[in-house]
Structure 1
Amino acid sequence: MRVTEKVAVVTGGASGIGRALAHRFAAEGAAGVVVADLDKAGAEAVAREIGDAALPFACDVVDPDHADALMDIAESAFGPVDIFCANAGVAVGEGLGETDDWDLALRVNLRAHVNAAERLLPSWLERKTGYFLATASAAGLVTQIGSAPYAVTKHAAVAFAEWLSITYGDRGLGVSCLCPMGVNTPLLHGSGRSGDVVKASGRVLEPEEVAEIVIAGLETETFLILPHPEVLDFYRHKTSDYERWLAGMRRLQARVAAG
C-alpha cells in the first residue's frame, strides 16, 4: 500500500517511532494523519510540526471507548481510515514481573491492537481495503533477556498480526508487523537492564531510519518488517535448532548477569 492520499492513524505518535511515522506519512502525501497518544501535549506538538495534514488526539489505547472515539475523529476530519499503526507500547517489569506489569503490558502491547481491529475490520472488509501495521519487537520473534511481560506480550502482538493476515489477507486486508531491535526512543532508554542488553546487541537505529524502512515495507506489503536484518538470521537459527538456541540464550543471560 502506498501512503499517498491515504488516511493514517498512529498511536504512540508523540515520540519515537510513532512520531517518525507520522512525519513520514505526511511527507509521503497522506490525506491526513491522526497523531494519537496518552501524552496530549506531545501529540499536539507533533501535529503542529506536521501542519494541516495532521490532527492530534489524546487517548488511552487500552480503553475501547477511546479506540472508538479515535476512529470517529479520524473519519470526521479526513475520511475512512486506510492505515492503522498500532504503535503504542510499554516496556515494564524485570524478570518475572509483578501483576501490575503483566496487566499493563497485556493491555497496551496486545489488547489495544485487538480493540483497534474490532473497530476497523467491519469497514475494511466492506471496502475490501485497509492496512494494519503492528509495532512489535525483535523480542516478539527471538525473546529478550530481562522482562517476561515485555517478551511475552510482544510475541502475542506478532501472533495477533499473523492471525489477522491469515484470516483476512484474501479479503483485502494488508498486515505488516514491525520488529526492530534497538531504536533510539524513550522506550529503549527507560527499560533498564533489558534496554542495556538491546543496546549492546546491535546497532541502535534512529526512528527516522525505521520510518523509511516501514514505507518500503508497506509499499511491498511485506509482513515482517525488520529494520535490523540480522533478526531474520537469529530467527532462522532459533527455528532450525531450538535446543541449541535455548542454550545460547542461557549463555547470553549468564554473560549479562556477570556484568
Structure 2
Amino acid sequence: MDLGLNERTVIVTGAGGGIGRRLARTFAAEGAHVVLGYRNNKDEAELIAKEIGERALPVRFDLADEASTHALVDATLEWTGRVDVLVNNAVSWGADPSTWELGFENVDDWQDALRTNIEGTIALTRAVAPTMRQQRWGRLLHVSTSLVTDGSAGAEYYVAAKAALHGFSRSVAFALGKDGDILSNVVMPGLTLTDTNGFITDSFGKEYAARSPIARLLTADEVARSIVYLASAANTGINGQVISVNGG
C-alpha cells in the first residue's frame, strides 16, 4: 500500500528513544522528511538522523519552553518549507516515575505534569496549524496512554494531562477539518516494549500481557506502524478518534 508520505515533512517529538525512535525510522522508510524533536537525548537523536541520512533533521525541543516550540517549527519550515504531519509523542513525566506509587507530594511536581503535557502539546499544535491550513492538508497524532482508561495509583496527574488531550484532539478535528484534508487523532498505546521503559515492563510486563487477547506486549515498532498509517494520506476517514493500540 502506498501511504502517500513520500516527500511529506513530519515532525516527531520525543524522537530520541522509545516509540519516537521507531516512528522516525518508519516515516523515513516511507520517503518522508523527518524532524526529530528531542530534549535530552541529543546523541541518540543525532545517531538516528545519521542513520536515516539527508531526510532527517534533529532539533532540540522542550515541551515546557514556548520559544523551543516556535524554534522547532521555524527550523522545519526553513528546511523543507512545509509541515504535513505532527506527532505529539514527547512527554513530561513530572516526578520520577519510580516514585509514582507515592503520588506527587510536591505541588510543583503535579502542576508541571499537567501544564507541560497539556500546554506544551497544545502550543505545538497551534504552531503548525496555520501551515496545514495553507496547504489544506495535514495529520495530527497525539500519543496518549491506556492508563487514561485503566487508571494507575500515583499516575493521576500524568493521566489527567493525557486525558485532556483526548478532548482537545476531538475539537481540533472539527476546527481544522473544514479547512482542508486535516485530520486529528489520538493513539492510545498500552504498556509497550521499548528501550526506555524497561523499569516498568520488568515489573508489570507479565501482568499486562496476561490481560491481552494475544497474551503479549506490543513492540515499539508495532505501535509506530499504526501511528504512521493514521498519519498518512492512506487514512482519509479516521478522524477525531481515540485509537487503542495494545493488542486488544
**TM-score of the two chains, using structure 2 as the length reference:** 0.82
- Cα RMSD, aligned residues only: 2.2
Unaligned 5+ runs, structure 1: 231-259
Question: Is the CA contact 1:36–1:56 (under 8 Å) kept in the aligned structure 2?
Answer: yes
Query: Residue in 2 aligned with 1:243?
Result: none
Quote the residue 1:155 is aligned against: 163
| Residues 209 and 51 of structure 1: CA distance in aligned 2, closer, same or farther (over 3 Å) | same
Tell me how far apart the structure 1 counterparts of residues 130 and 184 of structure 2 sit (CA, whole Å). 16
Q: Which residue of 2 aligns with 1:228?
A: 246
Question: 1:216: how far off?
Answer: 2.7
Please point out which of 126, 130, 143 is paired with 2:134.
Answer: 126
How is 1:161-180 mapped onto 2 (pairs within 5 angstroms)?
161-172=169-180, 173-180=182-189
Larger relative contact order (CA 8 Å, sep ≥ 6): 2
User: Which of 4, 13, 24 is 1:11 aligned to?
Assistant: 13
Query: Measured at CA, do residues 78 and 126 of structure 1 come closer, stay the same or move farther in structure 2, by a change above 3 Å?
Result: closer
User: Is the alpha carbon distance of 1:105 and 1:187 closer, same or farther for their aligned partners in structure 2, counting shifts above 3 Å?
Assistant: farther
Structure with a larger share of its residues in helix: 1
Is the Cα–Cα contact under 8 Å of residues 62 and 108 in structure 1 kept in the other structure?
Answer: yes
Q: Matched residue of 1:34: which SS?
A: strand
Distance 2:115 2:38 in 1: 15
The one of 217, 222, 234 aligned to 2:230: 217
**Cα distance per residue 1:32-86 (max 9 Å; x no partner):** 1111111222211111121111011122122111111101111111221110111
Matches within 5 A, 1:1-259: 2-30=4-32, 32-39=33-40, 40-93=42-95, 94=100, 95-97=102-104, 98-172=106-180, 173-190=182-199, 196-197=203-204, 200-202=207-209, 203-218=216-231, 219-221=234-236, 222=238, 223-230=241-248
- State whether residues 14 and 45 of structure 1, in contact with CA within 8 Å, keep that contact through their aligned partners in structure 2: no
Aligned length: 227
Q: Which runs of 5+ in 2 are unaligned?
A: 210-215
Task: Work out the percentage of aligned pairs sharing the same amino acid.
Answer: 28
Q: Higher strand share goes to which structure?
A: 2
